[in-house]
Structure 1
Amino acid sequence: MGRIAVLLMVAVAVTGCSKLGFARASDPVFDGERFRGGVKAARSDRQHFVATVRNVSKSKAGAIEAAEHEGIRHCIEYFGTSDIDWEVGPETNPDALVVENDTLTFMGSCRDEG
């Protein structure tokens, strides 16, 4: 019975960390840090997206790379290309990037080569 309780506690801890925005071991490393990120796009318009990365305070340079990575991954998945027209992205002056609640947000559009 004790072993089951320990396994349940570990499962709850891992799930809780994921929901709180902590990086997983499977997340890529940027500037020596792991970042949790994601992309949101309307199902009716996957071309335009918003990429976010949490825990920017660990490394702003790493967070910028991680957010770019999220956008590229999205565009490759849906359009087969890594070409992106960034509205706010990796080429934006780092001092002009908005970070709210330790989260960096990029906005872009995948180039539809097809």
Structure 2
Amino acid sequence: MITDVSKAMAILALCGGVLAGCDGIVNDRPTYAGVPFKAKAKAVNKKETLAVFTTAVSKAPRSLEGARLAAHHEGTRYCIENFGSSRIAWQINPLDTDVAVPLDGDTAVYGGTCTP
């Protein structure tokens, strides 16, 4: 015979399983230097050309090294997606550690041109 306590325990176990499964949804973002970043690359002027783009990495001060890697990865992804090539002429190369990370508030902003 199923008691009310057994039903409650079954419901709690089911809810726990569902919540545990949701953990991967939030943490699917790749990490750079151990930190997940939100990075977005977009054309500066879509009407003129898709080749010239900017990459913005939110909350960059959490790890400047990670923000550099995220910007480089996102720029590379953008150029491959739009031009089939990973070649980029960066205004400031995100992988150049001799140059400070260009910040706009807490967002790292890099510019480049896809060179197919």
TM-score (norm 1): 0.71
Cα deviation, residue 56, structure 1: 1.0
* Deviation digits for residues 13-62 of structure 1 (CA, Å, limit 9, x no counterpart): xxxxxxxxxxx422211000000010120223110000010111210000
Q: Which residue of 2 aligns with 1:77?
A: 81
Give the Cα–Cα distance (whole angstroms) in 2 for the partners of residues 83 and 103 of structure 1. Answer: 24
Matches of 1:83 and 1:100 in 2, distance apart?
25
CA displacement at 1:97 relative to structure 2: 2.7
Given candidates 36, 43, 46, the residue that maps to 1:43 is: 46
2:113 to 97, 109, 112: 109
Alignment match, 1:62: 66
SS of 1:46's partner is strand
CA RMSD of aligned residues (A): 1.5
Gaps of 5+ in 1: 1-23
Once the two structures are aligned, what percentage of the paired residues are identical? 34
8 Å CA contact retained: 2:68, 2:101: no
Instruction: State the match for 1:30 in structure 2.
Output: 32
- Structure whose CA Rg is larger: 2
| CA distance in 1 between partners of 2:33 and 2:62 (Å) | 9
TM-score by length of 2: 0.70
Where structure 2 has 5 or more consecutive residues not aligned to the other structure, the ranges are 1-25
